[in-house]
Amino acid sequence: MKIQLLFTLLFLTSIANGQDTLSHQVLFNIDKDNIKASEESKLLNFLDKIKDRKINAVYLSGHTDSDGSNEYNEDLSRRRVNNVKLLLESKISAVVNFSAHGEEKPLNDNSTLKDKELNRRVEILLILEKVKPIATFDLFRELSVPEQEFCIDQRRDTTLVLEQGTTVEIYANTFISNDPCVKLTAKEVYTIADMIGEQLSTISNGRQLETGGMIYLEVSDDLGKELEAQKELNILMPTDEFKNDMQLFYGEEDPHHGLNWQLAHGDSLGNNLMTGVSTGIFKGLIPPPIGDEEECKLFFCKIKTALSGVGIGEWRFPIYPVYSDSLQQLMDSLGVNNYEELRAKMIEQSFENGDIGASSFSYYAFSTSKLGWMNCDRFTNRRPLISMDTGIKFDSGVVTNLVFKKFKSVMQPNDTRISFKFDGIKENEPVYYVAMKQDNNEILLSIIETKVSAMAPELKFEAVSIKELKNRLAKLN
């Protein structure tokens, strides 16, 4: 229990301090505490690869299989861990902390000879000072998605439609401030190129996701202080391909300052995106569902048949931005008396003018009071899974991504190892293997069309301008 608490505190500390954690283990022969020549060679090779990095702390834990008494195994694990400690202290300059557990913490049930071999081990955990990639800041500043900013009168209901079609509905007094308006900052990420530019991936706790789009929302006052939502916002995200099993995820910072997508809990959605008109999720702002016994409102009767093949939840949305300052003037000009009729009338006109068609009515809809990064995703459930080693060292300055051809997913490598690896992906899956780096004032790009295998193909860099880089990435969309 003590070592588990220690490792937990260690992990949290490494996150807070911007440190990297690396692990290794040394295996032992039956009833032996001396380090085998093969294991010593592996350990020395491991240490050689990080010889230029600063080691802040070392933690060892010794273990045995289940043969023998508890007392004997505890002493055996202590002797094993001490021998590893002596070897490490002869090679590195760092304080080595250690503990011995005997047979108390097996990796398996010791039912086979192979199981027992894996339990005869000393685990090594190194805490290293984090090394940032070489000068990629300017590159990703050029590739990042532009922010959209709006002044919101928080005393009134407001509907915004962002540049790529995301709709955000905000109730009056959702944000409490004495300022005349609060600033809403938004980003929309719907394309592969934008995901790469924002350094986003589609991973949830190590499991691969297929995304339907990502957005970022932040609200602040005149002094730049972030404001929390006191009520839920209604959000609709456009999609070209509606999928019923999409779910809502929130972006949480991971130990390496990237985003890990966490499945939403505790909001009005439960775990699933609410796309059906019968849920009441929009609290009366949207025209009610069409039923045999209900009065059909305006244009929705006319397009009921046209939309029947699109999906019941894909058409309840506003088309144009409606700002509260001009709301009454707009209603008067269209001859309508309330908000529901106004929105229906606007959609009707666009539909009859041919500006939009039934395919335009495809949205994922949800309500949330949590701001920040949000993502419509579903788990890919592809098997069997393997790791793909790039052979690229963590401190090389190379930024790599896997872009999947059959579904919208972008994966970044695991950077807690000596070299970058893509973990938990299906073998033979067709992908684009994308790598970038900045060498002085030159941008180098490699894009290789390949399939997932145990070893990634060798990179083929070529110098490109920032314009060429954006164009090449856009072709991956």
Contacts of 228 (CB under 8 A, 6+ apart): 175, 369, 371
pTM: 0.57
Specify the pLDDT at position 421. 87
Per-residue pLDDT tens for 280-296?
A: 222 222 333 333 334 43
Q: What is the mean pLDDT of the chain?
A: 77
H or E segment to which residue 243 belongs: none
Specify the pLDDT at position 351. 55
Dihedral angle of Cα 358, 194, 253, 174, to the nearest 10 degrees: -50
Eight-class DSSP state of 307: H
Contacts of 177 (CB under 8 A, 6+ apart): 154, 221, 227
Of 14-18, 112-116, 267-271, 377-381, which one has max mean pLDDT?
Answer: 112-116
The larger pLDDT score, comparing residue 352 to residue 437, is at 437
The larger pLDDT score, comparing residue 208 to residue 380, is at 208
Statement: residue 147 has pLDDT above 80: yes
The larger pLDDT score, comparing residue 61 to residue 179, is at 61
**Separation of alpha carbons 381 and 404, rounded Å:** 14
Statement: residue 298 has pLDDT above 60: no
Q: What percent of the chain has pLDDT over 90?
A: 39
Span of 54-63, 101-110, 125-134, 150-159 with lowest mean pLDDT: 125-134
Statement: residue 345 has pLDDT above 70: no
Asked whether the beta carbons of 213 and 241 are under 8 A apart, the reply is: no
Statement: residue 152 has pLDDT above 80: yes
Q: Name the nearest CA neighbour of 466 among 137, 140, 133.
A: 140
Eight-class DSSP state of 414: B
Per DSSP, the three-state class of 423 is strand
At which residue do the structure tokens 């490792």 appear?
Answer: 7
Per-residue pLDDT tens for 235-262?
A: 888 887 777 778 899 988 765 556 889 8
Mean pLDDT of 193-216: 91
Statement: residue 142 has pLDDT above 80: yes
Statement: residue 271 has pLDDT above 50: no
Contacts of 237 (CB under 8 A, 6+ apart): 165, 166, 212, 213, 215, 363, 364, 365, 376
Q: How does residue 443 score in pLDDT terms, banded at 50, 70 and 90?
A: confident
Dihedral angle of Cα 129, 130, 134, 136, to the nearest 10 degrees: -160
The larger pLDDT score, comparing residue 468 to residue 353, is at 468
Specify the pLDDT at position 235. 87
Q: Which letter, b or e, does each residue of 173-192 get, where b requires 16 or more Cβ atoms within 10 Å of its Cβ?
A: ebbebebebbbbebbbbbbb
